[in-house]
């Protein structure tokens, strides 16, 4: 009996690795993992043994990994919609070099380990030529590591944490980075609103919020302003009265709240209840229809920095907004616009590159210059980050008003 334990284990190990190996040589384009899963899971649902038609000669496959389920699902869905729309337009216009461009989307549940798994699968099983995603910086970091190691170019549409593109020369981003957003708001507060005393209320749970706060605090102080107090909350809290009372005591002229819309709306309401009448300032995490619902009249007159404004009268932006509305209903948020841009940059690179090898595509993306995106003109710098202006929007009654553009 004692010896049967290790024997059984060894047998199990042989079985597992054995069946994995067997499928290996035959499966240059079929789905190894699927067969492995069948072999090992036993009870896994039966899948036809036919290979998936991923490597067809007349399509170019792009990989997308984003959070379609989980806490940031709306971001992921917007991202997918934006990419889908760009691909559809490209295919209607004749595709790339006579080939159709298709995408394969995997859900990462908003978890980095799932993101790494999804991207590994996209690269090694589905043989995608390029990876797009994700929104949350933690997930993008996990993906970047794998994409860089495999030599497959990756474009993140909307991860603003600086460390993402530092992973290597195959990782690009087409949005601005957190420090820039902090700088934009500091500049706007100092020069446009002409305030000198600002309190900060940051979300301790999100790296994004902390990053924005750090830069805002530094820049605002450099520009001659003063931070009266710094308070923090955790994503998911519902009562902010203690922090707001402390902030009220410090008598600020504005409050910087670089959080997500779900909390900001409630914070605005509670601030007004406590008699804090000063405007709130924030970042692109505010950008959601839900903000007006949650904040109501309390959030009106507050400002946030964003990637683009759907109210911008430029023709191509209005066309994008109209097309998106027709296809998916609802006004596209910045994430959809950025994803649309990312996919178009990818398609542009596919057209320019001599072949679809990782290196050729990488070089083609790196040359992106003055690309007319929906969310600003995109020029990639030597650190593979986009250099582009940010817009500042004022929250009105159920909509936003374009206030100004801040250039880098």
What Cα–Cα distance (Å) separates residue 131 from each residue in 51, 213, 341? Answer: 22, 30, 14
For tokens 């500091």, the residue is 186
Whether 232 contacts 243, CB under 8 Å = yes
Nearest approach in angstroms of CB 85 to another protein is 13
Among 60, 63, 68, 339, binds another protein (CB under 8 A): 68
Contact 336, 365 (CB under 8 A): no
Which residue from 99, 102, 237, 403 is in contact with another protein, where contact means CB under 8 A? Answer: 102
Q: Shortest approach of another protein to residue 172 CB, angstroms? A: 18
The binder of another protein chosen from 26, 28, 69, 241 (CB under 8 A): 69
Which 121-160 residues touch another protein, going by CB under 8 A?
121, 123-125, 137-138, 141-142, 144-146, 150
- Assess contact for 185 and 305: CB atoms under 8 A: yes
Both tokens of 193, joined, read 């609103």
Q: Does 2 bind another protein (CB under 8 A)?
A: yes
Does 48 sit near another protein (CB under 8 A)? yes
State which of positions 184-213 bind another protein (CB under 8 A): 204-207, 210
Asked if 91 is part of the footprint of another protein (rule: CB under 8 A), the reply reads no
Q: How many residues touch another protein (CB under 8 A)?
A: 73
* Nearest distance, CB of residue 157 and another protein, angstroms: 17
Q: Which of residues 6-35 bind another protein (CB under 8 A)?
A: 6, 8-10, 12-14, 16-17, 20-21, 24, 31-34
Distance of alpha carbon 242 from alpha carbon 341, whole angstroms: 42
Residue 26 C-beta: closest distance to another protein, Å = 13
Instruction: Give dist(CA 379, CA 131) in Å, integer.
Output: 19
Q: How far is the CB of 35 from another protein (least distance, A)?
A: 8
Contacts 24+ apart (CB under 8 A), 26-30: 27/51, 28/55, 29/54, 29/55, 29/127
Structure tokens at 145: 């590591």
By CB under 8 A, the residues from 275 to 304 that bind another protein are none
């Amino acid at each position: 009996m004692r010896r049967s334990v290790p024997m059984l284990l060894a047998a199990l190990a042989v079985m597992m690795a054995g069946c994995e190996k067997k499928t290996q040589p035959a499966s240059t384009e079929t789905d190894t993992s699927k067969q492995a899963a069948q072999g090992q899971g036993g009870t896994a649902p039966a899948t036809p043994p036919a290979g998936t038609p991923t490597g067809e000669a007349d399509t170019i496959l792009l990989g997308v990994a984003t959070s379609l389920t989980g806490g940031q699902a709306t971001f992921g869905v917007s991202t997918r919609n934006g990419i889908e729309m760009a691909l559809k337009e490209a295919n209607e216009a004749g595709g790339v070099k006579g080939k159709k461009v298709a995408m394969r989307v995997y859900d990462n549940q908003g978890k980095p380990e799932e993101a790494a798994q999804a991207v590994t699968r996209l690269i090694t099983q589905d043989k995608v030529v390029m990876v797009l995603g994700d929104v949350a910086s933690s997930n993008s970091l996990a993906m970047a590591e794998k994409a860089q190691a495999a030599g497959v170019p990756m474009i993140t549409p909307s991860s603003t944490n600086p460390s993402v593109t530092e992973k290597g020369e195959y990782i690009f981003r087409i949005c601005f980075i957190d420090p820039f957003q902090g700088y934009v708001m500091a500049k706007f507060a100092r020069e446009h609103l002409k305030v000198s005393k600002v309190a900060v209320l940051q979300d301790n749970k999100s790296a994004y919020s902390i990053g924005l706060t750090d830069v805002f605090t530094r820049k605002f102080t450099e520009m001659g302003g003063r931070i009266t107090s710094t308070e923090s909350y955790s994503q998911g809290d519902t009562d902010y009265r203690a922090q707001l009372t402390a902030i009220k005591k410090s008598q600020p002229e504005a409050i910087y709240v670089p959080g997500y819309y779900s909390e900001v709306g409630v914070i605005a309401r509670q601030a007004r209840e406590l008699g804090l009448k000063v405007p709130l300032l924030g970042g692109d995490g505010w950008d959601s229809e839900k903000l007006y619902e949650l904040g109501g009249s309390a959030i009106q007159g507050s400002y946030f920095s964003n990637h683009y404004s759907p109210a911008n009268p430029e023709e191509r932006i209005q066309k994008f907004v109209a097309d998106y509305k027709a296809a998916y209903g609802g006004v596209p948020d910045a994430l959809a616009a950025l994803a649309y841009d990312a996919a178009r940059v990818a398609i542009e690179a596919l057209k320019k590159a001599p072949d679809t090898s990782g290196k050729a595509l990488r070089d083609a993306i790196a040359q992106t210059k003055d690309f007319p995106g929906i969310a600003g003109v995109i020029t990639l710098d030597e650190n593979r980050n986009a250099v582009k202006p940010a817009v500042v929007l004022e929250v009105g009654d159920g909509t936003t008003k374009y206030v100004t553009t801040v250039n880098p």
